[in-house]
A and B are shown apart, each in its own frame.
Chain A
Amino acid sequence: MKAAVVTFPGSNRERDIARALKHASGVAPAMVWHADADLPAGTDLVVLPGGFSYGDYLRCGAIAARSNIMAAVQAHAARGGLVLGVCNGFQILCEAQLLPGVLMRNDRLRFMCKRQHLRVERADTAFTHRYAQGQVIDVCIAHGEGNWTADADAVARIEGEGLVAFRYCDANGVVSPETNCNGSVNSIAGIYSEKRNVLGMMPHPENLIDALVGGTDGRGLFESLATRMAA
């Protein structure tokens, strides 16, 4: 398994995600600086971590999406390489147009940090094969701008092609306006690219890998990646 975590100025969950990757695979990921031009040779997975890259100034993810390393990330994705963006990483992927849509301010206009159930919409991807189809997982959110939206055509295409990765739901997997924590279209918490090699998601599976610290429902994602890449 060769994973690389990109650190932008203002990234702040890069250590959390590196810990989750190491926990699942036994190997610490390479930490890559945003100003670098290249990813380490043989990188299988690139992770854009959570945080407030460039302070969220201008627009979340907008400046980071234009940093040096992103050309290499784009090329990696184009080759079919795996890319995971969590929270600010998701915002960066949208700004870099690796994923469609945009993340607006939460509909309640406040930053929200809380536990949140997600429904795994498909369990046949590199990111989720250790989960079951329709499984409900309990992870957490911590964001002020996670309200995903896109134009009607893009939403129809994402839904039609099965590119929704996770939806916000209740403990029984029921998706409703009450369980939609930030106002996202169709309660979407995460989406895939067309070839399902790029995943962007607002919730933080990397903070739910330990029974002592809230639970282990986030592990499945990292174990999926680890076993897929070990193969």
Chain B
Amino acid sequence: MTATAPKITLELVAEHGLKPDEYARFLELIGREPTITELGIVSAMWNEHCSYKSSRLHLKGLPTSAPWVIQGPGENAGVIDIGDGDAIAFKMESHNHPSYIEPYQGATTGVGGILRDVFTMGARPIAALNALRFGSPDHPKTRHLVSGVVAGIGGYGNSFGVPTVGGSVGFHTRYDGNILVNAMAVGLAKTDGIFYAAAAGVGNPIVYLGSKTGRDGIHGATMASAEFDANSDEKRPTVQVGDPFAEKLLLEACLELMQTDSVIAIQDMGAAGLTCSAVEMGAKGNLGVELILDNVPCREEGMSAYEMMLSESQERMLMVLKPEKREEAEAIFRKWGLDFAVVGYTTDTLRFVVKHHGETVADLPIKELGDEAPLYDRPHIANTFQPTIDPASVAAPVDNATALARLLATPDLCSKRWVWEQYDHLILGNTVQKPGGDAAIVRIEDGPKGVALTTDVTPRYCEADPVQGGRQAVAEAWRNITAVGGLPLAITDNLNFGNPEKPDVMGQFVGCLKGIGEACVALDFPVVSGNVSLYNETQGRSILPTPTIGGVGLLDDVTLHATVALRQAGDVLAVIGDTTGWIGQSVYLRDICGREEGAPPPVDLAVERRNGDFVRGLIRSGRVTTVHDCSDGGLAVAVAEMAMAGDIGVSFDTLPADIPAHAFLFGEDQARYVIAADAATIEAVAAEARAAGIPFRKLGVAGGDAINIPGETPARVADLRDGHDNWLPNYMAGEIDHP
């Protein structure tokens, strides 16, 4: 080893994020003191971000298979079969910590990473989505973070050329020091043209593709595996810089190369860069890997082996190539102006060997670095029980029309147009449902098929009752896909939680996963990919548990879909599903009554499935084309959103006598859909619902220019829209300081 190599001290080990017992295990494994490069490698592979050491045990319980699943978790992205030889590859991943430190670049590299995961599988990206959570709007950094993250997501996706078609944006003080940026990408492949990470064959060349390696992002994955403190801004140098132009070239070059039958295996260089990608390719293929770092294209002079192995420079790939195809492959990459270098080869030793300047700087057992990393069963305690709130015990502080107007202009329920207009959501010409609907719809090429896409989670439910919250996140995604006419097929999960070493946080994680698993089984909606982001805490305070669910569904005929907008005066509105006036954890209780408490609405998965299948049938037969999922804000908010989208008022029928009016209007009972159609159709639907034992209630009639709640002053649709549309632009313009 080189004379200048630092001595391996316990302090240095600790700085690498390795716990003493983990280091002891490593020493036992290799039987000698590691080199600094080896210490860097093991710290990258065994940190939470790459090893899933706290979560793996519990992730094993999730259902991951179905007849239409081609690839479940464990690859760069999950893949499902959508018929006719077509497949959809998709995944969601977080970039939370970097986005808090440097919002624009943090968000861009999050988008870049997930797009790479998808096209690594051989899929051309056809859609991007995201789920964003920011701190309280009156926190001094929130405006800056919203501005930077949104610009970053747009900056990358717009340039790369993928439509950003959907997502969600929420605010809560518990994200003040730790925002969430979850990015999802969806790609289209052929079922016989899918590429995997597992290397095969001994002595095959390992090729480095894409951009050059620099000193950026060293230890990014380690940062993602620790809590933030007041000095987190000092970590800015660990945030990488995204180059969407390079990624676009990489996409085109990779897809072109994949047509030539040259590629044995391919792996994106994401977290922990060269280390993680090389180890995974070898470990998955039961092969050793030898890297020669002298061949790695570098952006800077004099980079050490340690730096090269831990750099998280973006827009890079590693590929195992058929040796006889090398020239053909290289020509394609040169045409696109990208680096192409043979940096190693596969071996039969099951060792991960790294050479630099003629010296062996690392020689480690590859399986133990990868799939045999440490595994923890962290102590966890169940969440404390939250009482069910009797709606009759909650007095309405204001009349319901006023409450409706206020809710529509809250940070969580206001229009997010200001955000999605900064994303190119129309490129590729297949966006049938743009942002603002229940789920986005993207047509598959020239049709008739399409995919329905959504991201969902209700963090306050997850905190109040992790099992119900986990179920609800999956059910909500399933419902949003159903509400546009899609058949839900599979999900990707992005599990954002606090410090797993705290038993209550670990309890949230375990509870949410239990709920997610139950819902996936009951709804035939398996998990095919995902990402875990732990240690989302700042100064000891954790985020709300936020297991974001990205759902994908299929429309056999994209012309048969539903949208939220009311179509014509005289159409009758009705709600499918039971309304009990569940007010606990509702947005109404929180934002109108100032109480964030109670048990969240329970999710009955059998009812969820029955109601959803019924509604989907109505859409697919072409009988009902106006449907809206009923979620945050309850019936009144759902109806108002339909009214604003269609620019038609609604007169509510007499409200039921057995439920307090505000609980009926704003309660958040699950498994509900508001539909609208002509009176004859609604009458027929009512009869069918009754026959099937599905709760059905007529709500009112479309017409006029106001929302009329019996006994209250009409709320003009134009006024509601004014408040709904303008909260976010006004806030971002600095005109609202303390909402």
A-to-B contact residues, CB < 8 Å: 9-10, 12-13, 15-16, 19-20, 50-52, 54-57, 110-114, 140, 142, 144, 204, 206-207, 209-210, 212-214
Residue of A nearest to B160 (CB): A12
> Which chain A positions have C-beta within 8 A of B382?
none
Instruction: Decide: A213 near B158, CB < 8 A? Known: A9-B336, A113-B421, A140-B426.
Output: no
Residue of B nearest to A109 (CB): B151
Cα separation A99 to B672 with both chains bound (whole Å)? 56
> Which chain B positions have C-beta within 8 A of A204?
426
Q: Shortest beta-carbon distance, A31 to chain B, in Å?
A: 12
B-to-A contact residues, CB < 8 Å: 151, 154-155, 158-161, 243-246, 248-249, 336-337, 420-432, 443, 447, 558-559
Cα separation A10 to B251 with both chains bound (whole Å)? 11
Shortest Cβ-Cβ A-B pairs, 9 listed = A12-B161, A55-B245, A52-B159, A142-B424, A113-B424, A207-B426, A16-B429, A207-B429, A10-B245
> Which chain A positions have C-beta within 8 A of B155?
111
Partner of A212, one of B244, B245, B423, B559: B559
Cα separation A20 to B337 with both chains bound (whole Å)? 29
Residue of B nearest to A52 (CB): B159
Q: Is the CB of A210 within 8 A of B429?
A: yes
Q: Shortest beta-carbon distance, B622 to chain A, in Å?
A: 14
> Which chain B positions have C-beta within 8 A of A144?
158
Question: Assuming A13-B427, A55-B245, what are 18 further A-B pairs, CB within 8 angstroms?
Answer: A9-B245, A9-B249, A9-B337, A10-B159, A15-B428, A52-B158, A52-B161, A55-B244, A111-B158, A112-B421, A113-B158, A113-B423, A142-B424, A142-B426, A142-B427, A144-B158, A207-B427, A213-B431
Q: Is the CB of B160 within 8 A of A212?
A: no
Q: Is the CB of A110 within 8 A of B151?
A: yes
> Which chain A positions have C-beta within 8 A of B428?
15-16
Cα separation A208 to B226 with both chains bound (whole Å)? 48
Q: Is the CB of A212 within 8 A of B422?
A: no
Q: Is the CB of A209 within 8 A of B245?
A: no
Cα separation A110 to B151 with both chains bound (whole Å)? 8
> Which chain B positions have C-beta within 8 A of A111?
151, 154-155, 158, 422-424
Cα separation A113 to B430 with both chains bound (whole Å)? 15
Residue of B nearest to A19 (CB): B429
> Which chain B positions have C-beta within 8 A of A15?
428
Instruction: Decide: A212 near B443, CB < 8 A? Known: A12-B161, A56-B159, A111-B155.
Output: yes
Q: Shortest beta-carbon distance, A91 to chain B, in Å?
A: 13
Cα separation A110 to B422 with both chains bound (whole Å)? 7
Q: Is the CB of A213 within 8 A of B432?
A: yes
Residue of A nearest to B418 (CB): A110
Cα separation A92 to B421 with both chains bound (whole Å)? 24
Q: Is the CB of B244 within 8 A of A52?
A: yes
Q: Shortest beta-carbon distance, A19 to chain B, in Å?
A: 6
Instruction: Decide: A12 near B245, CB < 8 A? Known: A19-B429, A213-B431.
Output: no
Instruction: Decide: A51 near B161, CB < 8 A? Known: A10-B248, A111-B154, A111-B422.
Output: yes
Q: Is the CB of A112 within 8 A of B158?
A: no
Most A Cβ at <10 Å: residue of B159, B245, B426, B447: B426
Instruction: Decide: A213 near B249, CB < 8 A? Known: A12-B161, A113-B425.
Output: no
Residue of A nearest to B559 (CB): A212
Q: Shortest beta-carbon distance, A205 to chain B, in Å?
A: 11
> Which chain A positions have C-beta within 8 A of B422?
110-113
Cα separation A212 to B159 with both chains bound (whole Å)? 25
Q: Is the CB of A57 within 8 A of B245?
A: yes
> Which chain A positions have C-beta within 8 A of B159?
10, 12, 51-52, 55-56
Instruction: Decide: A214 near B337, CB < 8 A? Known: A9-B249, A55-B244, A57-B245.
Output: no
Cα separation A144 to B152 with both chains bound (whole Å)? 13
28 A–B contact pairs at CB < 8 A?
Answer: A9-B336, A10-B159, A12-B159, A12-B248, A12-B427, A13-B161, A16-B427, A16-B429, A19-B429, A51-B159, A52-B161, A52-B248, A55-B159, A55-B245, A56-B245, A111-B154, A111-B158, A112-B422, A113-B423, A114-B421, A142-B424, A209-B429, A210-B429, A212-B447, A212-B558, A213-B443, A214-B426, A214-B431
Residue of A nearest to B421 (CB): A114
> Which chain A positions have C-beta within 8 A of B426?
113, 140, 142, 204, 207, 214
Q: Shortest beta-carbon distance, B42 to chain A, in Å?
A: 36
Q: Is the CB of B430 within 8 A of A213?
A: yes
> Which chain B positions have C-beta within 8 A of A210?
429
Cα separation A213 to B432 with both chains bound (whole Å)? 5
> Which chain B positions have C-beta within 8 A of A207?
426-427, 429
> Which chain A positions have C-beta within 8 A of B432?
212-213
Instruction: Decide: A142 near B429, CB < 8 A? Known: A12-B248, A55-B245.
Output: no
Cα separation A105 to B245 with both chains bound (whole Å)? 19
> Which chain B positions have C-beta within 8 A of A16?
427-429
Cα separation A214 to B78 with both chains bound (whole Å)? 31
Cα separation A114 to B435 with both chains bound (whole Å)? 11
Cα separation A12 to B249 with both chains bound (whole Å)? 11
Cα separation A62 to B546 with both chains bound (whole Å)? 44
Residue of A nearest to B417 (CB): A114
Q: Shortest beta-carbon distance, B378 to chain A, in Å?
A: 43
Cα separation A57 to B431 with both chains bound (whole Å)? 28
> Which chain A positions have C-beta within 8 A of B246?
55
Q: Shortest beta-carbon distance, A24 to chain B, in Å?
A: 14
Cα separation A1 to B370 with both chains bound (whole Å)? 57
Q: Shortest beta-carbon distance, A150 to chain B, in Å?
A: 26
Cα separation A12 to B252 with both chains bound (whole Å)? 11
> Which chain A positions have C-beta within 8 A of B337?
9
Q: Shortest beta-carbon distance, B169 to chain A, in Å?
A: 16
Residue of B nearest to A20 (CB): B429
> Which chain B positions have C-beta within 8 A of A57?
245
Most A Cβ at <10 Å: residue of B160, B427, B428, B443: B427
Cα separation A3 to B460 with both chains bound (whole Å)? 56
> Which chain B positions have C-beta within 8 A of A20?
429
Cα separation A206 to B426 with both chains bound (whole Å)? 10
> Which chain A positions have C-beta within 8 A of B430?
213
Most B Cβ at <10 Å: residue of A15, A57, A110: A110
> Which chain B positions have C-beta within 8 A of A51?
159, 161
Residue of A nearest to B243 (CB): A55
Cα separation A214 to B447 with both chains bound (whole Å)? 15
> Which chain A positions have C-beta within 8 A of B431?
213-214
> Which chain B positions have C-beta within 8 A of A214?
426, 431
Residue of B nearest to A51 (CB): B161
Cα separation A173 to B443 with both chains bound (whole Å)? 31
> Which chain B positions have C-beta within 8 A of A206?
429
Cα separation A112 to B246 with both chains bound (whole Å)? 23
Cα separation A84 to B154 with both chains bound (whole Å)? 26
Q: Shortest beta-carbon distance, A29 to chain B, in Å?
A: 15
Most A Cβ at <10 Å: residue of B159, B429, B447: B429
Q: Shortest beta-carbon distance, B339 to chain A, in Å?
A: 14
Residue of A nearest to B450 (CB): A212
Cα separation A43 to B548 with both chains bound (whole Å)? 51
Q: Shortest beta-carbon distance, A178 to chain B, in Å?
A: 14
Q: Shortest beta-carbon distance, B156 to chain A, in Å?
A: 10
Cα separation A186 to B428 with both chains bound (whole Å)? 30
Cα separation A215 to B447 with both chains bound (whole Å)? 16
